[in-house]
Amino acid sequence: MGNSNEKEKKANDGTTPVAEYKGQGFIFVDGDKSKPIVEKNKAEIKKRAIAYMKDKYKTDVKVNNVVPARSAAVVMVEAEEPIQFHTSVIVGFDMRKKELDPSPNVRSEEGKVEGAIVSGLYVKAYEEEFKQLDIFTQKEAEKYNLQGLNQATIDKTQSVGYQTSFYFIPTSIAFKGVYNAYIDNPKIDPIKIRELFLKEDKNFTNVNVALQFYNIDNGLPKQEKADAIAGDLKKETGLPRALYSIDIYKNFIVNRVGLPDGDNISVEDIQK
């Protein structure tokens, strides 16, 4: 009975268990005002977003979601080749006329796409190390009864760069040389990318990897669980060099924003 009441309360609060959340209810501030324009012009909005990414960032993307926002649509896009990442671009509307602008009027938040590209390049340059991180995070989730985001959630609501169920890479646009080399030649060799990363930051102080887990049991685990994962991380060999953080959240996502519901336990600044 208690579980049933808890589920009902969470549904009313606009939250969903992590495993069941697939972007339902996800919308940006004042998105209700532009929703009719989005629904009427979805194909053209997608087309403009894809063209913008190709023209400005030399990257082919697919559209995973078109989300109404204040006087615009936020288009969640994903690149799969030659690098992988999730990001978003903004397609503007004429709210006075309640229609799409005649001109494309597409933009992105400052540094957002650039940072996403850099995070994808980092994974490309250190592919074997990231395979090891995939194995490690899966193993840790099973060991400590934790879970990650499902792929639909990532595709429809997340735009932070390279992301898996258990981690993402909020790499900054500090790596201008790496980014510019990709724009000059998107087919740049991974070995060359690695050389450029080392040249710009040989101690990897500007590379971050954020491990993110969600509890399977009710409530929030004790801090000791995050500390235990941190201990395992410090001992693990063969992982990408970076500054790591660990966050563990409760088993609920806030539908409207696609983010964790409530408090978390964490460990910061683990240098590998």
With bands split at pLDDT 50, 70 and 90, how would you rate the model's confidence at 174? confident
172 in the same domain as 37: no
How much is the pLDDT for 262? 86
**If you average pLDDT over residues 147-152, what whole number do you get?**
97
Say how far apart CA 78 and CA 272 lie, in whole Å. 28
- 109, 132, 166: which is the final residue of a domain? 109
The tally of domains found in the chain comes to 2
Q: Do 104 and 10 sit in the same domain of this protein?
A: yes
CA 27 to chain centre: 16
Q: Are the CB atoms for 61 and 78 separated by under 8 Å?
A: yes
**Domain match, 72 and 127 both:** no
- The residue among 99, 92, 97 whose CA lies nearest residue 72 is 92
Domain of 84, in residue numbers: 2-109
Domain boundary among 53, 75, 109: 109
- Distances in Å between the Cα of 224 and the Cα atoms of 55, 143, 144, 221, 266 are 48, 14, 11, 8, 10
User: Domain check: are 91 and 154 in the same one?
Assistant: no
Q: How confident is the model at residue 3 (pLDDT cuts 50, 70, 90)?
A: low
Contact 111, 49 (CB under 8 A): no
Average pLDDT over residues 222-245: 97
Please give the C-alpha separations between residue 99 and each of 32, 71, 93, 164, in angstroms, as whole numbers: 14, 10, 6, 36
DSSP secondary structure of 99-165: EE-SS--EE--TTHHHHHHHHHHHHHHTHHHHHHHHHHHHHHHHHTTEE---HHHHHHH--SBSB-S
Same domain, 55 and 142: no
Mean pLDDT of the chain: 93
Token digits of residue 179: 């980014």
Residues with Cβ < 8 Å from 1, sequence gap 6 or more? none
Q: Are residues 82 and 184 in the same domain?
A: no
Q: Average pLDDT in the 161-177 region?
A: 91
pTM of the model: 0.92
Whole-number Å distance between alpha carbons of 112 and 131: 25
Q: Which residue among 69, 92, 109 closes a domain?
A: 109
What tens digit of pLDDT does each residue of 187-206 get?
A: 999 999 999 999 999 988 88
Q: Are residues 232 and 139 in the same domain?
A: yes
pLDDT in tens, 124-138: 999 999 999 999 999
In a 13 Å sphere around the CA of 12, the CA atoms on its Cβ side amount to: 6
The amino acid occupying position 200 is E
